[in-house]
Amino acid sequence: GAAGGPPPPPPRRIFQALVESTGIELDAKWVNVRAADIRKLAARLVRSELDISGKGAFKEEFVTAGGVKLEGVEMKTMESKEVPGLFFAGEVLDVDGITGGYNLQAAWTTGWNAGRAIAAAAAHLEASHTAAS
């Protein structure tokens, strides 16, 4: 979303599946949905893990635009400059380009950088805990 504005909505089919998985009827009026169900839906929105089983049959794979601004990310580690311990990779970053593998390469490279940095941070944390014991 725009600076200070709300984020864009999730893709419609994913949102529908998440709504249904919480037991909320798709045609329910939101004013009638129980607060507990809304909390459950919010938790699923931020905690869901999705397995990718393939690509679309009609060349529907496109890069998204927008996302976390690169100037807020340490590119060698993909760690947030504002929130230590928060790492970004792939299409959550504000990177877009010609489709055909470039966005995949950006996702793989940023994922590799973030993964290595997270592993190094975990090893450092483990070593400091071990030394303190």
Per-residue confidence (pLDDT) for residue 102, from 0 to 100: 76
Q: How far apart are CA 102 and CA 129, in angstroms?
A: 40
* Listed residue (59, 60, 67) closest to 96, CA to CA: 67
Q: What is the pTM of this model?
A: 0.51
Per-residue confidence (pLDDT) for residue 1, from 0 to 100: 46
Residues in the chain with pLDDT values less than 70: 1-5, 55-64, 97-100
Per-residue confidence (pLDDT) for residue 52, from 0 to 100: 74
Per-residue confidence (pLDDT) for residue 128, from 0 to 100: 82
